[in-house]
């Protein structure tokens, strides 16, 4: 599951899920300003990377991101240059323009849950945006809101911040652009998902700069970066079942796993049925959203 060696590319960085490579010195792409973004089959839950991979997850996430980038291209340019990648990572890698990433997780929420709900219960607002009283877990907001967060180190939670905080970090003009783009992307994607019977509760985008232009980077609108809920079971006032990681979360927090979420131990290996059901959910999300069949 660790980053593999790839001809023509030098491994530079591994996040929780993705591995980044630069063109190797002396290769055709050396110095051309690209990076190779490789999605692994690693899965994280409760801020831990689990020891068991989910087969095909990297391919599903890459195919879904590529599909979304195309749906959004009239709203914002994206970083994908080519999908001509080394055979060892075929289907789960993209050659991308190297971006100077903004140090902001650009989150849009159309529904209240997760850290947004926690904040709302404390002070009736999220990231400095006041919300009406009486909202429940899973309530739909009248208008989607931009709720940025700072990027956390591995094992730490991202921290919600105000728009003003973002403006201090990246400048007022860039902050406004990031907010407007994030909300535009959310609105578009929420409509697409709704037509497919999926509630897009919230999503996290990452933008960067290249050649003086703000570009959408990273992955987009995947189950890893977004909360997808089946529309038919959406019901405010309780935790909504999630499309993808629900089996993993349920099992990890059940007595069967023997794992203490608050303790110092890393999570255990997942049982085969949890892996298979989770894989099916990722594939289902892809197929429902894109209307395509996942062929692997």
Kindly report the backbone phi and psi dihedral angles of residue 49, in degrees, each rounded to the nearest multiple of 5, phi listed first.
Answer: -80, 125
Contacts of 293 (CB under 8 A, 6+ apart): 287
Q: What is the DSSP string of 173-202?
A: HHHHHHHHHHHHHHHHHHHHHHHTTEEEEE
**CA distance linking residue 295 with residue 288, whole number of Å:** 14
CB of 128 to ligand ATP, least distance (A): 23
Q: In a 10 Å sphere around its CB, with 0-12 CB exposed, 13-18 middle and 19+ buried, how is residue 233 labelled?
A: exposed
Contact track, ligand ATP, 76-105, x by CB under 6 A: ---x----------------xxxx-x----
**# of chain residues touching ligand ATP (CB under 6 A):** 18
CB of 96 to ligand ATP, least distance (A): 4
**CA distance linking residue 179 with residue 202, whole number of Å:** 14
Q: Is residue 24 involved in binding ligand ATP (CB under 6 A)?
A: no
Cβ proximity to ligand ATP: between 49 and 126 the closer is 49
Cβ proximity to ligand ATP: between 20 and 75 the closer is 20
Q: Is residue 179 involved in binding ligand ATP (CB under 6 A)?
A: no
**CA distance linking residue 95 with residue 21, whole number of Å:** 9
Return the half-sphere exposure (C-beta side, CA atoms, 13 A cut-off) of residue 288: 22
Q: Is residue 148 involved in binding ligand ATP (CB under 6 A)?
A: no
Strand partners, 37: 20, 94
Cβ proximity to ligand ATP: between 79 and 109 the closer is 79
Candidate segments 15-23, 140-148, 170-178, 226-234, binder of ligand ATP by CB under 6 A = 15-23
Q: Residue 57, SS3?
A: helix
Candidate segments 11-19, 55-63, 112-120, 139-147, binder of ligand ATP by CB under 6 A = 11-19
Q: Is residue 206 involved in binding ligand ATP (CB under 6 A)?
A: yes
Q: Is residue 18 involved in binding ligand ATP (CB under 6 A)?
A: yes
Kindly report the backbone phi and psi dihedral angles of residue 265, in degrees, each rounded to the nearest multiple of 5, phi listed first.
Answer: -75, 150
> Which residue sits closest to ligand ATP, CB atoms considered?
15
CB of 13 to ligand ATP, least distance (A): 7
Pairing of strands 106-111, 9-14: unpaired
Cβ proximity to ligand ATP: between 95 and 135 the closer is 95
The residues that touch ligand ATP, with contacts defined as CB under 6 A, are: 15-18, 20, 35, 37, 44, 79, 96-99, 101, 206, 208, 217-218
């Amino acid at each position: 599951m660790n980053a593999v060696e790839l001809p023509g590319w030098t491994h530079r960085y591994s996040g929780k899920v993705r591995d980044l490579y630069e063109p190797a010195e002396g290769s055709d792409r050396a110095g051309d300003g690209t990076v190779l973004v490789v999605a692994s089959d690693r899965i994280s839950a409760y801020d831990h990377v689990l020891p068991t991979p989910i087969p095909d997850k990297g391919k599903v996430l890459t195919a879904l991101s590529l599909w979304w980038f195309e749906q959004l291209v009239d709203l914002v340019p994206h970083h994908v240059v080519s999908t001509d990648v080394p055979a060892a990572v075929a289907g789960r890698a993209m050659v991308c323009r190297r971006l100077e990433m903004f140090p902001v997780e650009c989150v849009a929420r159309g529904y209240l849950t997760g850290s947004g709900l926690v904040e709302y219960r404390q002070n009736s607002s999220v990231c400095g945006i006041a919300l009406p009283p009486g909202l429940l877990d899973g309530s739909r907001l009248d208008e989607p809101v931009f709720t940025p967060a700072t990027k956390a180190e591995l094992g730490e939670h991202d921290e919600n911040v105000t728009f003003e905080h973002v403006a201090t970090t990246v400048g007022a003009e860039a902050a406004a652009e990031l907010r407007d783009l994030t909300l535009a992307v959310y609105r578009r994607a929420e409509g697409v998902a709704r037509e497919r019977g999926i509630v897009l509760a919230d999503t996290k985008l990452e933008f960067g700069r290249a050649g003086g232009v703000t570009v959408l980077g990273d992955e987009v609108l995947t189950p890893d970066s977004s909360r997808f809920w089946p529309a038919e079971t959406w019901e405010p006032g309780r935790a909504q079942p999630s499309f993808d990681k629900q089996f993993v979360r349920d099992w990890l927090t059940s007595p069967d796993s023997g794992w203490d979420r608050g303790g110092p131990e890393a999570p255990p290996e997942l049982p085969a049925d949890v892996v298979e059901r989770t894989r099916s959910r990722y594939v289902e999300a892809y197929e429902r959203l894109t209307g395509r069949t996942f062929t692997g």
